[in-house]
Amino acid sequence: MNYDYRKSLVLVAALAAAPASAQNIAINFDFDIDLDHWNTQNGSTEISTAWNSLDGNGLLDSGSAQVDNISSGPNNGVTLEQCLPASEGQSYSYGGKIRVPAPGLGANDVATIDAYWTNDASCAGNLSLDSTSFSPGAPDTWVTQPPTQVVAPAGTNGVKIRGRVTKFNAGGTVTALFDDVYFGPGTFPVTLQSFRVD
């Protein structure tokens, strides 16, 4: 069998020309079996969280994070969040998948993934919020939140990546599921590129 070294050289050249892939630094971002490494905001009593067996990729051996906004008042947002390291001036991207059970979101209700910058590594301080206007429309459907690319503001030493559910009306419950949450330097998500070698 003859080995064609030209094909290997083409493959090596193509890989070398591809941009460096970004790294997701969120831990337990796919919620395979639990919500480990994720916390509710300041121990809020207006939120209920649970592991849900519905998976954003339809996998039977994985799941997602369920966030219920159970606040009694109107215009309240609750978050499931994870503290991660971040540095001022660095470019980052974040996003993920969201599913809202039927009947879906009410008018002005929001389910989104956002990033809250902090001035200390333990995320105890406050700096600013980076959010997106995205919120899934169709109920009972996994929707991918488009990548949001941001630059960490001056003074950043940490960031909270958050699954946020905001309820416009008083009473009742608004629920959203989150999966494949990503945050990291560079551009996400990593897209595999294909090419032919003849």
Which domains are delineated in the chain? 24-185 (2.60.120.260)
pLDDT of residue 38: 97
Average pLDDT value for residue range 14-35: 74
User: Percent helix, strand and coil across the chain, each rounded to 5?
Assistant: 10, 40, 55
Nearest to 159 by CA among 183, 138, 132: 183
Query: 192 falls in which pLDDT band (50, 70, 90)?
Result: very low
Look up the pTM and report it. Answer: 0.83
pLDDT digits (tens, 9 = 90+) for 28-72: 999 999 999 999 986 678 999 999 999 999 999 999 999 999 999
Average pLDDT value for residue range 75-103: 95
Among residues of the chain, what percentage have pLDDT more than 70?
82
Query: 189 falls in which pLDDT band (50, 70, 90)?
Result: low
pLDDT of residue 21: 52
- How many other C-beta atoms lie within 10 A of the C-beta of residue 178? 29
